[in-house]
Structure 1
Amino acid sequence: MKDWEKDTIGIDFVHEALAVLLERGFDAESLLNAAGISPMLLKAPQARVSAANYGQLWSLIAKQLDDEFFGMDSHPMRVGSFLLLCQSVIQCETLGSALKQVLKFMRLVLDDIHGTLTINDKFAQMTLHEVSPAPSRAFTYATFLIIVHGLGSWLIGRRIPLLTADFRCEEPRCGADYKIRFSEQARFGQASTCITFNASYLDLPIVQNQRTLVNFLAEAPANLLVKYSNRDSLNAKIRHHLRRTALTEWPDFDTLSRQLHSTSSTLRRKLHQEGQSYQSIKDNLRRDLAINHLSGSRKSIEDIAVQLGFADPSAFHRAFKKWTGNSPGEHRRTLSSK
């Protein structure tokens, strides 16, 4: 399993993805079951699902609606549109020319929302424009940006670091996940929805080809959702550092600071600026690992507790219930009852 597949996604994103499907009277429960997501998790506000399962749900909803934009535009983005989009930009020479082609394509297939790319000195800005004067759902903006930003990042073989990410809508309950996916500088209730990045990225060459496109499409859309999340934040860097270290050898804060070539006070201050603490990062990583173990393996709960570094199963039970609202046993039974 790739590192990005081990990430988890908040249950609010599942609710958002299902919204139009439910409005149109489709059976959401069968799609959830087919994606490996128990419908019972919808009743747990703190629940999270694996990136792989959520990616499967995206694909199933798109096929059910015959719309890869999930019914959020008056003109559907028919299934197969994303494939055509990828094929249309794979021959571009630079990211700049590819993004212009992507935005032109999106304007052809959608009626209510489109994007423009402008360059101001050293910065590039992609702004979304809408027919309606009222803001759309955050999920609408996120879906558009995930498609464009994720595809652009894949084309150049690296994430396009976002300097800012502004959204017209009010902050959703899963606002923290938006900061993880886009930028820790994500802001809501802004005058327009836009992302900014260093304009020098527009000159980077396209490094993908028809052969690599096959593998990319096989992993989509899950790879778009989390693989190109914000990896530049201190939170992401510490998670990556810990993932390469056995849990029994996770460093204390002072040791971590030295390993990251920082002082303890500087590291603590930077984490505070991101609204994080070392303990919360360790807890969230353990939570994600636990969810993946419980849903993707037959290991006993006792073995998982030991593997995650808990002194005894009861400590793991208490921690998991605090993280998700359910005990490990309840979570596994919920999955098995789907």
Structure 2
Amino acid sequence: MSDRIGEKGTISVRLVNEALLELRRQGFDEAPLLQQAGIAPALLLRPYARVPAQAYARLWRAIAAASDDEFFGMNPRRMKSGSFAFMAQAALHEPDIGAALQSMLRFTGLLFDGLSPRLERQGSLAQIVLDDEGAPPTRAFAYFTLWMMLHGLACWLAGRRIPILGVELRCAAPDYLADYRVMFSDNLRFARPHSRLLINADCLALPVRRSERELQRFLAGAPGNILVRYRDPQSLGARIKVYLRNLKPERWPDLEALGGHFYMAPSTLRRKLALEGQSYQGLKDQVRRDLAIARLDGGAGNFTELAFELGFADSSAFYKAFKKWTGTTPGQYRALTHPDDASS
């Protein structure tokens, strides 16, 4: 197996090692688990190696079966095998994503020790807050694994990706962040007072679109289908976003030039993006949104300059687009996410 990042649907071996960490501490023999997953042990010694997302999913299932814990042993109480399926079954019968998330969070709070998750709405933003202040911060991998289950299930129930505006964690930043940035958001912040995930509050009204029959197929393929469908670091859409981030917005190509860069006809590129539930315009909006949020979180206060930097004709166009992306204006977003700045 090669180290090439270009392989479709891959996960860094650093996350594989993270998944095995608690089992190693407990004295589990990881060799049969890696064999079941089809992961060569020698790869784990190569920090830049990657494994197929489906191999990572097989490892997840193998660990859950061996330890009767779907959460890699990262909480004093096990997430016994079948817990995720039970949570999904309950959420399926809710009318919309807001109610489904409430159901998931109630179940998660009952499941884990030292964790009181809640869903809050603040104006046009919604946040999933993980209250665990009574205990030392856990490692980043544990938080991100829980986000993956909650957000991934919500995306599947809605039948579309729910954009993440930002993630804040109580713990220190881990040594490796690249896959987390692709899976969740470029806007990751650490050593914060609370652990929370921010989304547009309008997403809470999205209807649950799945059936019992679809649930059985989903569970048969989980968690690999979440990793690939909603978080494929090597999908065409993800690669286009990386390409756009490396260019100034005024130099972004049109669809024909973009197709040439990726060695495919514009119609083929459009069709492949559609299969991923994406469009080129949507990807450009996502990159502009992520850049805008990152700059605001970094202290940008001159919105006219920021509008020009992002390739907008004027600040009013930027305000209109930002409100469409996040449900709030740039100034309101700054006030919601930086309350200390607003009160100083």
Cα separation, partners in 2 of 1:260 and 1:95, compared to 1, 3 Å: closer
Distance 2:12 2:179 in 1: 7
Corresponding residue to 1:58 among 57, 60, 72? 60
Amino acid across the alignment from 2:183: R
- Which residue number corresponds to residue 295 of structure 1? none
Shift of 1:113: 2.2
Give, in whole Å, the separation in 1 of the partners of 2:99 and 2:262: 48
- The match for 2:263 is 249
Asked if the contact 1:124–1:199 (Cα under 8 Å) also holds between the matched residues in 2, the reply is: yes
Closer/same/farther in 2, CA of residues 68 and 93 from structure 1, 3 Å limit: same
Going from structure 1 to structure 2, the CA distance change for 1:33 and 1:143 (only over 3 Å counts) comes to same
Candidates 141, 163, 166, aligned match of 2:165 = 163
The aligned residue for residue 118 of structure 1 is: 120
2:203 is the alignment partner of 1:190: no
> What percent of counterpart residues are identical?
37
> For 1:109 and 1:141, how far apart are their aligned partners in 2?
15
Report deviation, 1:272.
12
CA deviation after TM superposition for structure 1 residue 245, in Å = 6.1
Quick one: distance in 1 between partners of 2:232 and 2:45?
Answer: 29
Deviations 1:36-62 (A, max 9, x none): 000101111111101010000001001
- CA shift in 2, pair 1:33/1:122, >3 Å: same
Q: How does 1:225-264 map to 2 (within 5 A)?
A: 225-229=227-231, 235-238=238-241, 249=263
Tell me how large the CA RMSD over aligned residues is: 3.3
Distance 1:233 1:166 in 2: 27
| Worse-matched range after superposition: 217-226 or 101-110 | 217-226
How far the C-alpha of 1:229 sits from its partner, in A, is 2.5
Retained in 1: the 8 A contact 2:114–2:134? yes
Which among 70, 83, 86 is matched to residue 84 of structure 1?
Answer: 86
The 3-state SS of whatever aligns with 1:115 is strand
Q: Give, in whole Å, the separation in 2 of the partners of 1:133 and 1:68.
A: 21
Structure 2 vs 1, CA of residues 28 and 185 (structure 1 numbering), >3 Å: closer, same or farther?
A: same
Count how many residue pairs are aligned between Structure 1 and Structure 2.
Answer: 257
The 5-angstrom pairing of residues 317-332 of structure 1 reads none
- Alignment correspondent of 2:310: none
1:55, 1:221 within 8 Å by CA — same for their partners in 2?
yes
- Identify if the C-alpha distance between structure 1 residues 99 and 48 changes in structure 2 by more than 3 Å, giving closer, same or farther: same
SS at match of 2:231: coil
**2:21 equivalent among 12, 19, 22:** 19
- CA deviation map 1:116-174 (0-9, x unaligned): 10001011011111154421111110111111101011001011101111122222222
Separation of aligned partners in 2, 1:72 and 1:215: 27
Matched to 1:215, the amino acid is R
Judge conservation of contact 1:181–1:226 (CA < 8 Å) in 2.
no
- Asked if 2 retains the 8 angstrom alpha-carbon contact of 1:122 and 1:200, the reply is yes
Instruction: Find the aligned partners of 1:89 and 1:157 in 2 and give their Cα distance.
Output: 14
Counterpart contact for 1:161–1:230, Cα < 8 Å: no
> Does the 8 Å contact 2:8/2:232 carry over to 1?
no
Name 2:35's counterpart in structure 1.
33
Q: Which secondary structure state, in structure 1, belongs to the residue aligned with residue 164 of structure 2?
A: coil
Q: Which residue of 1 aligns with 2:51?
A: 49
Structure 1 residue ranges without an equivalent (≥5): 252-258, 275-338
Per-residue deviation, 1:249: 2.2
Distance 2:150 2:142 in 1: 13
Letter in 1 for 2:53: A
2:76 alignment counterpart: 74
Q: Indicate the residue corresponding to 1:280 in structure 2.
A: none
Output the TM-score relative to the length of structure 1. Answer: 0.69
Between the aligned partners of 2:73 and 2:263, the Cα distance in structure 1 is: 47
- For residues 148 and 124 of structure 2, the distance between their equivalents in structure 1, rounded to whole angstroms, comes to 23
- Aligned 8 A contact 2:9 2:232 in 1: no
**Structure 2: how far apart are the matches of 1:185 and 1:105?**
27
Alpha-carbon contact 1:165-1:183 (below 8 Å) kept:
yes
Matches within 5 A, 1:219-298: 219-229=221-231, 235-238=238-241, 249=263
In structure 2, the gaps of 5 or more residues are 1-6, 244-254, 266-278, 293-344
SS of the equivalent of 1:13 reads helix
Residues 132 and 64 from structure 1, CA distance in 2 versus in 1: closer, same or farther, beyond 3 angstroms?
Answer: farther
1:129 aligned partner:
131
Contact 2:115 2:132 in 1 (8 A): yes
Deviation of the 1:181 alpha carbon: 0.9
Q: Secondary structure at the match of 1:249?
A: coil
Whether the 8 Å contact between 2:19 and 2:72 is mirrored in structure 1 is: yes
Within 2, Cα distance between the matches of 1:128 and 1:149? 13
User: Do the aligned partners of 1:230 and 1:236 also contact (CA within 8 Å) in 2?
Assistant: no
Q: Aligned AA for 2:77?
A: H
Q: Is the 8 A contact 1:117 1:124 kept in 2?
A: yes
Q: 1:250 to 1:239 in 2, by over 3 A?
A: farther
How far, CA to CA, are the matches of 1:123 and 1:224 in structure 2? 24
- 1:235, CA displacement in angstroms? 4.6
Q: Which has the higher contact order (CA 8 A, sep 6+)?
A: 1
